[in-house]
Chains A and B, each alone.
Chain A
Amino acid sequence: MGELASSRALSVEPSQGECGQYLTFYLQDEMFGLNITPIREISEYGKVTPVPMVPNYVRGVVNLRGNVVPVIDLPARFGWPSSPLNKRSCIVIVELSTADRGAIELGIVIDSVSEVLDIPAENIGSAPSFGAKVRTDFISGMGKVGDDFIVLLNAEKVLSLDELSQLEQVAKTAP
Chain B
Amino acid sequence: MSDILDQAHDTFISECFDLLAEMETNLQQLQVEPENPELVHAVFRVAHTIKGSAGLFGQDEIVSFTHGVENALDRVRDGLLTINGRMIDLLLECRDHLERLIEGINQPPDRALVDDSRRLLDQLKQLCSNVDKAQQSPADDPTAAISAKPPAEYTADVDREQDLRVSNCNWHISLHFGVDVFRNGMEPLSFIRYLGQLGRITSIQPVVDRIPCLEQLDPESCFIGFEIDFDSDTDKQTIMDVFEFVADDSRISILPPHSKLADYAELITQLKLENANYRIGELLTKSGALTERELNQALAQQQSKVASEAHLPLGQILVEQGSIDRSTLGVALAKQKREKERHHHESKSIRVDAERLDQLINLVGELVIAGAGTQLKAEQLGDEGLQESVSVVSRLVEEIRDRSLRLRMVHIGETFNRFNRVVRDVSRELGKTIRLEIQGGDTELDKSVVEKIGDPLTHLVRNAIDHGIESSEERTRAGKPAQGTVTLKSYHDSGNIVIEVADDGGGIDADKVYRKAVERGLVSEAQPLSEAEKLRLILEAGLSTKDAVSDLSGRGVGMDVVKKNVEALRGTIEVESQLGQGSTLRIRLPLTLSIIDGFLVGVGDSSYVIQLDSVVECIEFAKLETVRQHGGHYINLRGEVLPYLNLRALFGDQDGHAERENIVVVRSGGQKAGLIVDQLLGEYQTVIKPLSQIFARLSGISGSTILGSGDVAMILDIEALVKEAERGGHASA
Contact = CB atoms under 8 A, between A and B. Distances in A.
Q: Do A and B bind each other?
A: yes
Interface residues of A, number: 32
A53 B698 CA distance: 8
Interface stretch (A9-17, A28-36, A132-140, A161-169): A161-169
B530 interface: no
A47 B706 contact: no
Tell me which of A52, A67, A164, A172 has the highest count of chain B C-beta atoms within 10 A of its own C-beta.
A52
B698 A51 contact: yes
A162 B691 CA distance: 15
B18 interface: no
A47 B650 contact: no
B711 interface: yes
B196 interface: no
B697 A53 contact: no
B693 A49 contact: no
A82 to B, nearest CB: 14
B573 to A, nearest CB: 22
Interface residues of B, number: 30
Contacts of B652: 52-53, 174-175
A165 B694 contact: yes
A119 interface: no
Nearest to B690: A68
A50 B652 CA distance: 11
A98 B692 CA distance: 13
A104 B693 contact: yes
B714 interface: yes
Contacts of A58: 694
Interface of A is mostly: mixed
Interface string B336-364: 00000000000000000000000000000
B712 A62 contact: yes
B588 to A, nearest CB: 24
A164 B692 CA distance: 11
Interface string A100-121: 0100111000000000000000
A112 to B, nearest CB: 25
B700 interface: yes
A143 interface: no
A171 interface: yes
A161 B693 contact: yes
A105 to B, nearest CB: 8
B651 A53 contact: yes
Given A49-B606, A174-B652, A175-B654, A70 B714 contact: no
B692 A168 contact: no
B692 A69 contact: yes
B681 interface: no
A54 interface: yes
Interface string A55-73: 0001011110011111000
B695 to A, nearest CB: 7
Given A101-B693, A161-B693, A52 B651 contact: yes
B704 A61 contact: yes
A161 B697 CA distance: 12
A49 to B, nearest CB: 4
25 contacts: A47-B710, A49-B704, A50-B606, A51-B714, A52-B651, A52-B700, A52-B701, A53-B650, A53-B651, A53-B700, A58-B694, A60-B712, A61-B692, A61-B712, A62-B712, A63-B706, A63-B711, A101-B693, A161-B693, A165-B693, A167-B695, A167-B698, A168-B697, A171-B698, A175-B654
Given A104-B692, A161-B693, A165-B693, 4 more contacts: A49-B714, A54-B698, A165-B697, A174-B652
**Complex A-B, nearest 10 residue pairs according to Cβ-Cβ distance, in ascending order:** A52-B651, A49-B712, A164-B694, A70-B692, A68-B689, A68-B704, A165-B694, A168-B697, A61-B712, A167-B697
